[in-house]
Amino acid sequence: MKKLVAAVLCAAALTSSTASAQDYPSRIVKFIVPFGPGGPADVAARLLAKDMQESTKQSFIVENRTGAGAVIGTGEAAKATPDGYTLLVISNTQTANESLIPTRNYELMRDFVAISPINESDLVIVAHPSVNAKTVQELVALAKAQPGKLNYASSGQGTPYHMAGELFKAMTGTNIVHVPHRNSGEARASVLGGQVEIMIDAVPAMAQNIASGQVRAIATTGKKRSAVLPDVPTVDEAGVPGYEATIWLGLVAPKDTPKSVVDKLAAEMKAVVSKPENVKMWASQGALPMSMTPAEFDKYLREDIVKWAGVVKLINESSGKK
């Protein structure tokens, strides 16, 4: 009798899982974006929402839950019902936070399941035109001549902009003061307005401001020059060998979300990031689409956590922290 009951329950669970995938989504799906409006993650989430709404004929909405270097929004998503109706847009902010911020109410790989990456783009070091430096070498020389006087903006602790800035400081032996903001839009505005001298920002977000002369591009942060800023050298070729920092975006769901739903979302994501118009649009902004299975993205996340743990260790050692 017990075996019969167990078999019935197992069959019921399997049937429920299959049905959930077939019916999904049957109501509004929410993307939590733990970053501010107008930044790369927010823009990508709204593109996903539009395209997935068109393909599924169901509403997808975006909610910005900012604060504490993405910890607040990520923590809220971790507590959501694991049914596929609350999803989280992440970046390497979350993988860096695993070692940078020990007092979190969640763990990325314990409390979430990977779905798919979205895209990746280089960053660019920019300076307000009032800064007397046009190259990496000049910026380093200026920072060393005036230790603690130059400032750089970011959208908060643990974000790719912050980590890229701290890595630059560690590898160049400079003392540039970090000025965190609530979101990337505010950080960007501070640099454009001259309140903060420097920022390391995503190429897609800052390219137009560079073209208009509102800021000066010093160097990009990828392994090779950006197709959008071909005349701007990389930090590596400009005199800091081995320097590299990018920003990637992805989508995860709360743990225990049915595999059938995760797989369906992954298929939808693959269709969105491979759409020719999206690929062309991202390329024009300096971003490249990323496509992985949930298992591949899970492996990618775990490796990125290890990578940024090493960077955090380097940063702590350079600043004298244990």
Q: Which residue do the tokens 């990496």 mark?
A: 136
What count of other Cβ atoms lies within 10 Å of the Cβ of residue 59?
A: 13
63-104 per-position pLDDT tens digit: 999 888 899 999 999 999 999 999 999 999 999 999 999 889
The tokens of 286 are what?
Answer: 């300096």
Domain ranges of the chain: 24-120+247-312, 122-245
At residue 20, the pLDDT reads 58
At residue 112, the pLDDT reads 98
Q: Supply the DSSP string of 156-200, one letter for each residue.
A: STTSHHHHHHHHHHHHHT---EEEE-SSHHHHHHHHHTTSS-EEE
Q: CA distances (Å), 283 to each of 119, 166, 226, 227, 251, in order?
A: 10, 28, 10, 8, 20
Closest listed residue to residue 182, CA positions, set 205, 156, 151: 156
24-120+247-312: CATH architecture: 3-Layer(aba) Sandwich (3.40)
Query: Is 225 in contact with 236 (CB distance < 8 Å)?
Result: no
How far apart (Å, rounded) are the C-alpha atoms in residues 167 and 183? 20
3-state secondary structure (DSSP) of residue 106: coil
Question: Measured in Å, how far apart are the chain's first and last C-alpha atoms?
Answer: 60
122-245: CATH architecture: 3-Layer(aba) Sandwich (3.40)
Q: CA distances (Å), 58 to each of 77, 253, 299, 302, in order?
A: 21, 18, 30, 32
How far apart (Å, rounded) are the C-alpha atoms in residues 75 and 78? 5
pTM of the model: 0.85
24-120+247-312 and 122-245, same CATH topology: yes
Q: Which residues pair with 118 in a beta bridge?
A: none
Which comes out higher in pLDDT, residue 293 or 158?
293
35-65 per-position pLDDT tens digit: 988 888 999 999 999 999 999 999 999 999 9
Tell me the mean pLDDT in the region 186-195: 96
